[in-house]
Structures are given as C-alpha cells and as structure tokens.
Amino acid sequence: MSRGSREVERSILRLLHGQKSRTQLTQIHAHILRHQLHHSNQLISHFISICGSLNRMLYASLIFQHFQNPNIFLFNCMIKGYSLCGPYQNSILFFSTMKRRGIWPDEFTFAPLLKACANLEDLELGQGVHKHVLALGFGRFGSIRIGIVELYSGCGRTMDAKKVFDETPHRDVILWNLMIKGYSQSGNVDMGLGLFRQMGERTVVSWNLMISLLAQNGREKEAVALFHEMRNGEFEPDEATVVTVLPVCAQLGELDLGRWIHSYVKSKGLYPNLVSVGNALVDFFGKSGDLETAFTIFKDMPRKNVVSWNAAISNCAFNGKGELGVQLFDEMLDEGVRPNDSTFVGVLACCAHAGLVQRGGDLFDSMMASHGIEPTIEHYGCMVDLLGRGGCLKEAHKLVKTMAIEPNSAIWGALVSACRTHGEMELAECALKELIKLEPWNSGNYVLLSNIYADIGKWEEVEKVRVLMRENSIKKSPGQSAVV
C-alpha cells in the first residue's frame, strides 16, 4: 500500500470512530469505494464493527458478502455484531461458515459466540461452544470466562457459573455483576446480595443492578435502603439509578425521596434532556397524585417517545381525569407518535373512568383496524370494565363470550362486579359459575354466589353452594380487622 493510501485509510478510520459516524456511514462507505480500499480487511473490519455498534448489521452483511476471501477479523466482527444486535442465530451461522472455510477461531471468536448463546438462552448450544473453548485452551482468557459465566447464570445453571467464577484468579467487576444477577434471577436474592457485600470493588452499575434486583423481587424497602447507602458512599446516581428507584418511590409512597431525586436530576443535567428520566418523573408524580407537576415535566420535555405519552395518559386514568387522557391520546396521534398496546390500555381505562362508552368502543375497534394491534387480556378487561360501568351488561357478556383469547378470572370478576352494581343477578350468577370453574379453591367466589342466591330468595341453591364447598373442602376465609 502506498503512503497516500495509508494516509487515506487513517483518515477514514478517524471518521469511522468519530462522533458523526452514525449519520455519515454511507458517505464513509462511498469514500472507501472511491479510494478503492474496499478490499482492505483491516478497514472493512473496523467498518463492520461500527455497523454492529450502530445496529446496522444488514448493511454490514451486504458489505461482507462482497469479500471473496474474508479473514478471521472479518468473521469475528460479524459474529460480534450479531451477538449484540441480533438475530443472535446469525452469530452461530457465521461461526459455522468460518469453520467450513477452514478458518481457525481465535480467542476473540468465542466471547461474542457465548454471548449469542446466552441471549438465545440455548444451554445445549452454549455447552458445545464451551467444549470448543476447552479443547483449544482458550479458557484462561478473561473475556471468555465472562461469556461462560453469563451463559450459565442466564440459563439458570448458577452452580456451573459459580465453578467458573471460583476458578477465575482475577475476578473483575463484570464477573461479579454477572454472578449476582444470575443468583438473583434464579430466585436466590440473598446469595446475590451476599456476593454484592463481598465485592472489593463496585461500580455504579453494580449498585444499580442490586437495587433493581431487590425491587424486582418484592424487596422494595431494601432497594431504597441500598440506594441511601449508595448516596452515602462515593457513588453518584446516574440515569439508570433514577429510572430504577423512582418507580419504587411511587410504590412505597416515598414522596420526599422522589422529590429529592427530581431536584438532583435537574442539578446534574439529567433532566430534561434524557427521555427515560423524564418518563420516570412523569410516572412517579402521576402515581403520587401530583398530576400538575407530572404534566409540567411532560410539557417541558424537549423530546418525547411513546412511553412518555403512555405515562401521561395512564396518569389521567389513575387520577380520574379520563377526558383529559383521551384528549392527550388525540394529541399524540396528531404529533405522529404511533401508539402501542400499552397506549390503548391507558386510553381505554380513561374512557372507563370518564364513562365514554361509545368512544371507548371506537378506540377498541381501531386497535386492529387502524394500528394492527391485537387486543390482549388487559384490553378486554378495560372494555368489560367500560361497558360494565356504563350499564351495558349484555354487551359486556357478549364481548367476554366472543373474546379471541380465553377470559381469565379478572375478566369474569369485573363482569360480576358490574352485574352486582346494576342488580343483574342472573348474569352475575352465570359469571360466578365461570369464576368457580377457573378458581375452584377461592372461597370468596362461593360466598358471592351464595349471597346472590340469598338476595333473590333461592334458598335451595344457597344450600347447594354450601354442600359444594364442603365436598371440595373449601373453607370460608375468616374475617379480619385492621384495627389493633
């Protein structure tokens, strides 16, 4: 290669790794072609690597196909790119193609390959890759050990992951984090927390991970306590911390802490520029009943995504402002934001709270017709609630009977509640019988059915329900008082 060509190649590499590569990828590619550097394995390896980091693997694949004799570096870049972006199976396919061509894998091949297996949650395939690693003597490399631990912990094989972890002489933070996550996700949160306490070195990621895992496993108070511990140490909360802790604050009613986080993110510049932080704040203040602050934050957000709109619409339903929620939905469509299934759960709930039966029905019909969204059990539940509140009980029953999916206990329960409210005892009886089929162990359903029979004077049926309870060994739950 001439000196001029080397200068051009270095210039292209600087462009590739610059801040504007996302928007200039096609121009950089054209630059490579114009200077006839498209056969440079090194340059194209870098290009494909950047494509992987930008989730442009289709583009990378098209470029790769033009190489008649791709080397190990190009294959490794393709394997790594697909392990990050998916489809993860393509990493395996490229590995197989590489072997068929007689190209020997190196230590950089296996870490992304193991990650692809972990993402696929394919234990058998991952074990096959692990055997390759051992056969070639690559088990000593740190990145490969991380891949093996991630595979086994992600597939619920924590004992296998711990064996590799224990055999690793120099354990970095990533390895500790993977083991903590593996134990916690397999249900052993205490073991994960114990490992967290043993860590000699922690990063913000470690704190965020442990706080998140505690919250996900119903240990919200411990998650908040750990957050305070993090604050008292040398670690500053980041975007991920805020997004993790704010929902916990809303759930526990920790209003003062939520407001402190609001002040903190403003002082650190995390708000309003980060959409995820803005969304978390809107959700927190809405669920805390401070709709005014939630809407102020929502309006001040320079960028909004569908999650932002969903949070604002759901807040309206949560705070009894159904008509405002429907208006927001219309504004969202006018802004060109495409709704998703969560959007419709929120706006249908708004219609139910506001008594907008016709509008709710129209929105439900538009889900599939205009937006290609198949109704889920949550959408049907909202519609049954909407029709029930509006006294349209026959329509609600017809909807339940014609649902595209099997109605669950929540659906039948909503219908029972609406029927009792409007005095439709025969329909309530029918719905309760369906509930008992679904939940034969739930004493409350039998008691409700017995009460309905008593209300309409069907004493023989009352006795039959009691006999049925005795035959099924169902005992009425004892009454409890909250007064101490």
Lowest-confidence segment of 94-103, 162-171, 260-269, 463-472 by average pLDDT: 463-472
pLDDT digits (tens, 9 = 90+) for 61-99: 998 988 888 999 999 999 999 999 989 999 999 999 999
Q: What is the pTM assigned to this prediction?
A: 0.82
Cα–Cα dist 180/192, whole Å: 4
Q: Which residue has the tokens 């205490």?
A: 190
Q: Is the pLDDT of residue 354 over 90?
A: yes
What's the whole-number average pLDDT of the chain? 90
Between these two residues, 427 and 310, which has the higher pLDDT value? 310
Q: What is the rounded average pLDDT of the residues 184-201?
A: 94
Q: How confident is the model at residue 480 (pLDDT cuts 50, 70, 90)?
A: very low
Break the chain down into helix, strand, coil percent, rounded to 5: 75, 0, 25
Instruction: Quote the DSSP letter at residue 186.
Output: T
| Distance, CA of 385 to CA of 325 (rounded, Å) | 17
Q: What are the residue ranges of helices labelled H in 69-122?
A: 72-85, 89-100, 107-120
How high is the pLDDT of residue 2?
A: 53
Contact of 233 with 204, CB cutoff 8 Å: no
Confidence band for 47, pLDDT divided at 50, 70 and 90: confident
Choose between 458 and 481: higher pLDDT. Answer: 458
Q: Give the tokens for residue 52.
A: 């992987």
The structure tokens listed for 381 are 């539940």
Distances (CA, A) of 236 to 204, 210, 240, 351: 8, 15, 11, 42
Share of the chain above pLDDT 70, in %: 95
Rg (CA), the chain: 29
Instruction: Give me the pLDDT at residue 467, please.
Output: 78
Mean per-residue pLDDT for 50-56? 90
Residue 478 above 70 pLDDT? no
* C-alpha dihedral (320, 321, 326, 332), degrees to nearest 10: -120
Q: Is the pLDDT of residue 474 over 70?
A: no
A 10 A CB-CB count for 55 gives 13
| pLDDT tens profile 363-375 | 999 999 999 999 9
- At residue 349, the pLDDT reads 97
Q: Are 224 and 248 in contact (CB under 8 A)?
A: yes
Asked if the model's pLDDT at residue 483 lies above 50, the reply is no
Per the document, the length of the chain is 484
Which pLDDT tens digit goes with each residue over 261-317?
999 999 999 988 899 999 999 999 999 999 999 999 999 999 999 999 999 999 999
| 282, 312 contact by CB (below 8 A) | yes
